[in-house]
Amino acid sequence: MTTEHARQKPAATPTDESAVLEVTGLDVHYGPRRRRRRALHDVSLSVAPGETVGIIGETGSGKSTFARTVLGLVRPSAGRIVIGGEDVGAYGTRQWRRLRRRGVVQYVFQDPLRSLDPDLTVEESLSEPLLIQGVPRQEAADRVRTFLARVQLSEDLLDRLPGELSGGQRQRVSVARALVTEPKLVILDEPVSALDSANRVQILQILKDLRAAGTALVFISHDLGSVAGVADRIAVLYQGELVEVGAARDVITDPRHVYTRLLVGSAPTLRTASADRAERDRLRALLHA
Ligand SMILES: Nc1ncnc2c1ncn2[C@@H]1O[C@H](COP(=O)(O)OP(=O)(O)O)[C@@H](O)[C@H]1O
Ligand SMILES: [Mg+2]
């Protein structure tokens, strides 16, 4: 009963000193006062060092809002965000920039053109965050090559611009750039959603391999199948609220919330747990009742 309750409606977690990300009671609204719309309500989530947490939910459930708020791009109307022990709630633009520059938190977006500067070569893009941190030039060059290999890209691409790469190559560069400083936390918002299935599988494998490096990942996707193989824990967002959080295996094999059951039942890659059409219709009716 207690575990069920914990997974049904995650209670505000007590402040965990060791967490790399601690979000408590997050509320986000959009729009002017008279037409305010709620995008997130009372979201609490804590991410441990080196942990991969998947956040899943349908389009419009608030996933990108969560990512953007944690990255300081959207201001919450309530709640507390602690990143690497720093309460970033009152941070202004400059403090946020400094936090990102120190390499505490990095990001990968669905469209790599949003996370890469179109005028920087692959080499410049990857070495920039290292040089900003004061890593000596030669060491930075070595590190860039190491990470290029980790994302399975050839050194021949070092002098290319993002516009001269394929979508899959660009997203690998974004992943390498986010990880090259070995940050404490990387937020990935739909990192594989725009890729073909071969690239998707390869990048998911790369993310899985990189988990061991000690960087915590928040991996956001509308596709439970993508998250399932990578995440240690899965958090389910439904209409702006976290309705279920648990170990990935538990959430997939024994989903508690009706919406999670529907998601699991609809994921073609989780066929073993896949519900038949009648069951899905039944769950959908329950959800919209
Ligand atoms: N900049 C914005 N201004 C107003 N409403 C927004 C803005 N961004 C998102 N929303 C709304 O907030 C809700 C959550 O959106 P979003 O976080 O993008 O969801 P997701 O990433 O899960 O698809 C949606 O109803 C969306 O229309
Ligand atoms: Mg989104």
Q: What is the pLDDT of residues 112-150, one digit of tens each?
A: 888 899 999 999 999 999 999 899 999 999 999 999 999
User: Quick one: which ligand is closest to 60's CA?
Assistant: 1
Atom 16, ligand 1: which residue's CA is nearest? Answer: 62
Rounded to 10 degrees, the C-alpha dihedral 145/148/154/160 comes to: -90
Counting from 1 in the atom list of ligand 1, the atom nearest the Cα of 59 is 23
Atom 2, ligand 1: which residue's CA is nearest? Answer: 30
Counting from 1 in the atom list of ligand 1, the atom nearest the Cα of 190 is 21
What sign has the CA pseudo-torsion 208, 62, 176, 52? negative
Tell whether domain 2-104+183-288 is in CATH 3.90.930.12: no
Nearest CA-CA partner of 242 in 79, 30, 73, 17: 79
Q: Are 43 and 242 in contact (CB under 8 A)?
A: yes
- pTM of the predicted model, to two decimals? 0.88
DSSP state string for 202-235: HHHHHHHHHGGGT-EEEEEES-HHHHHTT-SEEE
- Judged by average pLDDT, the poorest of 147-151, 165-169, 278-282 is 278-282
Counting from 1 in the atom list of ligand 1, the atom nearest the Cα of 58 is 22
Give the residue, 131 or 266, on which the prediction is more confident: 131
Sequence-distant (≥ 6) Cβ neighbours of residue 202 within 8 angstroms: 152, 168
C-alpha 44 – ligand 2 centre gap (Å): 19
Per-residue pLDDT band at 12 (split at 50, 70, 90): very low
30, 58, 107, 239, best to mutate for ligand 1 pocket (most atoms within 8 Å of CB): 30
What residue ranges line ligand 1, CB within 6 angstroms? 30-31, 39, 57, 59-65
Domain ranges of the chain: 2-104+183-288
- How many whole angstroms separate alpha carbon 199 and alpha carbon 283? 33
